[in-house]
Structure 1
């Protein structure tokens, strides 16, 4: 696992929730790494760790380390936490230990891991990203439907940030991620559109407590953070 004798940081996507959707490579790398790093965000249960343990029963026998990643938009606090996490990872790498940093879904899509990865990589250390199944692909499969067909465009939108209303006017399929407390506002806006699109949502896809909503009227405005909406133009 070392190139030129250097230890390596792996950003490992564990998929959306079902341990059976983890890749064989993800399982192998986690098993072979010296340290498994997981983001600590204040939640009592780390979801990425729970998913990985479902595929690797002996995971609790490895050295598992939490890296503080607060759920905040305070840029100063975020920068400080990312710097601290990267420094800790570099210390492990300097000790010759390979590190697997677990992340939900795919590490390249709105992942906290990217901030640590960039710092460690830019400091000259070996890094590698292992893709995982994105949540919106799993959600579309759970809905038994495709995301796009023919010339349709696909738009991935962080719904809790500014610009969502404008993004919903774009042609093609819209995936709304990080909806969180914005679900009620999204429902209200979509209802007000001149030609409202079709909307479906899956909460906690592949996890315990999964719920499927086949239309906008049924969507629970109090659904959890782990909710993905699929918005499609009516044909």
Structure 2
């Protein structure tokens, strides 16, 4: 058996790669993770690929900070579910790129010795957001830091040592990020749901309303 872990990009179905599309059209079974009621990944794929004859299996992923919880049993059960229901060729779809902050890797250790796994790259939210601004992430010998937004406490270190800083998922810490950046001489951008219909882009953080805060967001800081 073989499991393709397919990155489907940041949201725009036209950013699904030709290879990803070819694989998803060829497999009989598609596993799709979801953390709430619906699978965003599946809603993107179905805009491009006919799923009417596919076996679709949703996997409920825990909405918890995985490093703070004992989730060994959960990952083991999810992996067993994949092994039991996988067909000769199956696909696991994931937003963005499977090597970048992808929850699939919590399952990888439980699957790697039981099924052949191949990762299919996708357009990451970082690349999509920087292109939508537009802004260069790095030129020449410039350095870039990509960190979760709760590292805002160390913003002085990052600004001193890097030319571009990307803060992932800042929706819960935006006020603290604004405070940390108040005295810094930087260009700052906020983007939510890059390439999705609900996309919003802000130059600076002062005009962002509570309704603009979203899990699928990031702050890009340029010195």
TM-score (norm. length: structure 1) = 0.86
Is the counterpart of residue 114 in structure 1 residue 105 in structure 2? yes
Please show how residues 200-211 of structure 1 align to structure 2 within 5 Å.
Answer: 200-211=189-200
Please show how residues 160-179 of structure 1 align to structure 2 within 5 Å.
Answer: 160=150, 164-165=154-155, 168-169=158-159, 170-179=161-170
- SS of the aligned residue for 1:181 comes to coil
Could you say which residue in structure 2 is the equivalent of 1:79?
72
Distance 1:209 1:105, change over 3 A: same
Distance 1:9 1:80, change over 3 A: same
Please show how residues 62-101 of structure 1 align to structure 2 within 5 Å.
Answer: 62-73=54-65, 75-93=68-86, 96-101=87-92
Instruction: List runs of 5+ in structure 1 lacking aligned partners.
Output: 1-6
Is the counterpart of residue 220 in structure 1 residue 209 in structure 2? yes
Could you say which residue in structure 1 is the equivalent of 2:33?
39
Distance 1:47 1:164, change over 3 A: farther
Is the counterpart of residue 148 in structure 1 residue 142 in structure 2? no
- SS of the aligned residue for 2:173 comes to helix
C-alpha contact 1:9 1:128 (8 A) present in aligned 2: yes
Separation of aligned partners in 2, 1:147 and 1:154: 7
Instruction: List runs of 5+ in structure 2 lacking aligned partners.
Output: none
Distance 1:28 1:232, change over 3 A: same
Q: CA RMSD in A?
A: 2.0
- SS of the aligned residue for 2:46 comes to helix
